[in-house]
Amino acid sequence: GQQLNQSPQSMFIQEGEDVSMNCTSSSIFNTWLWYKQDPGEGPVLLIALYKAGELTSNGRLTAQFGITRKDSFLNISASIPSDVGIYFCAGQRPGANSKLTFGKGITLSVRP
C-alpha cells in the first residue's frame, strides 16, 4: 500500500536542542497528523493539519502541511527528556476518508 517515508529510523539529540522530522510521500494527502508513542503506550495525537501550507503549534511542537501536499514536518524546540519516544506521521489520502496511512516512525532519544 501507499507508504509515508520517515527517516532516519532513530535520532539522538542533546537535551535543549531543537530537532526536525520530515514525512514525505509520492502521493498527495488531504490531512497530515503527527503522533507520539511513549514506551508501552498507544500513540497519542500531537498535531493535526488540514490545509496545504498550514503551520500549527502545540507548545514546543510546530508542524507544517507541505504546500505540495506531499510532505509534512514536525519541529520540537528545546528538547527535554520526556520527548523520548516514537514519532509517527500519518496522512489521509483523497477518497480514503475512513483510513489513515502511517509512516514507520522515528525513535527519538534525548541525552540529558
Partner 1 sequence: NAGVTQTPKFRVLKTGQSMTLLCAQDMNHEYMYWYRQDPGMGLRLIHYSVGEGTTAKGEVPDGYNVSRLKKQNFLLGLESAAPSQTSVYFCASSYPGTATEAFFGQGTRLTVV
Instruction: Please report, as ranges, the residues that interact with partner 1 according to CB under 8 A.
Output: 1, 9, 30-31, 33, 35, 40-45, 48, 50, 88, 90, 92, 97-100, 102-105
Strand, coil or helix: what is 46? strand
Of residues 82 and 98, the one with the C-beta less far from partner 1 = 98
CB of 78 vs partner 1, minimal distance in Å: 26
Give the span between the Cα atoms of 17 and 93, in whole angstroms: 33
Find out whether 62 and 56 touch, Cβ atoms under 8 Å: yes
Of residues 30 and 77, the one with the C-beta less far from partner 1 = 30
Q: How many CA atoms lie within 13 A of 79 on its CB side?
A: 21
Strand, coil or helix: what is 59? coil
CB of 79 vs partner 1, minimal distance in Å: 23
CB of 66 vs partner 1, minimal distance in Å: 18
Of residues 66 and 103, the one with the C-beta less far from partner 1 = 103
Q: How many C-beta neighbours within 10 Å does residue 40 have?
A: 5
Of residues 18 and 41, the one with the C-beta less far from partner 1 = 41
